[in-house]
Amino acid sequence: MNQLNVLGIETSCDETGVAIYSAERGLLAHQLYSQVELHAEYGGVVPELASRDHVRKLVPLIRATLEQAKMTGTDIQGIAYTAGPGLAGALLSGAAVARSLAWTWQVPAVEVHHMEGHLLAPMLEENPPEFPFVALLVSGGHTMLVKVEGIGRYRLLGESLDDAAGEAFDKTAKMLGLGYPGGPVLAERAQQGDPERFRFPRPMTDRPGLDFSFSGLKTYALTTMQKESVGLQGDRLETLKNDIARAFEDAVVDTLVIKCRRAVRESGVKTLVLAGGVAANQRLRDKMNRMMAEENGNAFYPRLDFCTDNGAMIAYAGWQRLKAGESIGLAFQARPRWSLMELQAP
C-alpha cells in the first residue's frame, strides 16, 4: 500500500473540495471551490442550489487536481468521498461522481464520515498529534468533545444540546446585521470591540459535565442589542455591534476552553486536537494554547485552509480506511444523519 494514491471528494454542504493523498509522498494536490457568493443573497445555504453547483464544479475540479499533481486517472488507486453527515442532495452529488469514477478506473471506493475527516485533518501537518488525544470538533453543524484512541476508536465525551458553536456565531451575526457568512465577520468585528463593556454568561460551566449549550447565549446577545441600540445610529451603532460581537466571542471561547480543560483532566490525556471551522478562530487558538500549557500538554490544529470543509481531509481519512482493505460495492448512499460513534476501527 506504499504506492496508494487516493482521490478525495468533499461535497457535504457548500464547498466542493477535491484532493489527492499519496501514501508515499503525502498531500500532492488540493482544490477548493466555495459557494459563499451563490448563497449570500439568501442569507444561508439553499440545498438545491448547493447540489446543482457541486454537479457543475466537481469534474473541472477533479481535472485541475489531477493536473496539479501531474497525474491521470491511471495513477489513482482508490477514491474516498464524504457520505455524511450533510445535505442529502449535496452528498449524493459527490457520491455519484466518486462511485462512477471508481467503476471506470476499476479501483476501490470508500465512504468517509465528514467529522472523521475533520478529526484527522491535523494529521496532514508536519507535526501531527499522536494517539490518544481529546478532540474538540467545533463547526457550523457540530460541537463535540471526543476521546480518540485510534482510527475509528472514538468515545463521545460531550456535545451541544442545541446550537453548535459555529451555528450560534452565524445566527448572532445575522441578528446584528453583519451579513453572510456570519462567523468570520463577527470574529473580525470582535477584534474592534471593547472587552470590558459587556460580559455574557458562560453557559453550562457552573455545573459538572462536558455538554454545551449556545442557544441561550445567542438570545442574550439579541436582547442586549435590542436594549442598548435604542436611539443609536451611525458610528455609535456600529461600535455597539463591535462590543456585542466581542462579548459573544469571549463567552463562546471561554466556554470551549473551560470544557476542554475538564475533558483533558478527566481523561488524563495531555494532547488536545481542535478541528472544524471555528478552530480557525485566533482568539480560541490563543486561549487554548495557554490553557494546554498550564495543563502541561499540547494543542494541535489543522492549517487554516483545512479547518473548513476540504477534500484533503477526506483523502487522508479515506486512505486510512482503504489501506486496511475497506471498500464499498457499486451501490452507494448518502447519510445525512450519521453518528461518528457508529464508526468502527478499520
pLDDT in tens, 96-111: 999 999 999 999 999 9
Whether 212 and 254 share a structural domain: yes
Q: What value does the mean pLDDT take over residues 215-222? A: 95
The alpha carbon dihedral of 129, 130, 134, 140 has a sign of: positive
Length of the chain: 346
pLDDT at 242: 98
High-pLDDT (> 70) share of the chain, %: 99
Q: What value does the mean pLDDT take over residues 69-73? A: 97
Domain limits for position 58 = 5-120+306-342
High-pLDDT (> 90) share of the chain, %: 95
Measured torsion, CA atoms of residues 131, 132, 133, 137, in degrees rounded to the nearest 10: 80
Query: CA–CA separation, 105 vs 240, rounded Å?
Result: 57
C-alpha cell at 86: 450533510
292 assigned to some structural domain: yes
Query: CA–CA separation, 84 vs 335, rounded Å?
Result: 5
Q: What value does the mean pLDDT take over residues 259-281? A: 97
Whether 146 and 293 share a structural domain: yes
Query: CA–CA separation, 346 vs 321, rounded Å?
Result: 6
Q: How many domains does the chain have?
A: 2
pLDDT at 3: 74
CATH of the domain at 71: 3.30.420.40
pLDDT at 72: 97
Whether 47 and 77 share a structural domain: yes
* Phi, psi at 89, each rounded to 5°: -65, -40
- Average per-residue pLDDT in the chain? 96
C-alpha cell at 253: 471561547
Whether 99 and 169 share a structural domain: no
Whether 17 and 100 share a structural domain: yes
125 assigned to some structural domain: no
Whether 210 and 329 share a structural domain: no
Q: Could you read off the pLDDT of 175-217 as tens digits, one per residue?
A: 999 988 888 999 999 999 999 999 999 999 999 999 999 999 9
109 assigned to some structural domain: yes
pLDDT at 182: 86
95 assigned to some structural domain: yes
Query: CA–CA separation, 211 vs 316, rounded Å?
Result: 29
pLDDT band at 43 (very low <50, low <70, confident <90, very high): confident
Whether 242 and 186 share a structural domain: yes
Whether 107 and 201 share a structural domain: no
Whether 152 and 112 share a structural domain: no
pLDDT above 80 (res 2) = no
| Cβ-proximal residues to 346 (8 Å cutoff; 6+ apart), any chain | 151, 152, 320, 321, 323, 324, 325, 326
Query: CA–CA separation, 338 vs 316, rounded Å?
Result: 19
pLDDT above 70 (res 42) = yes
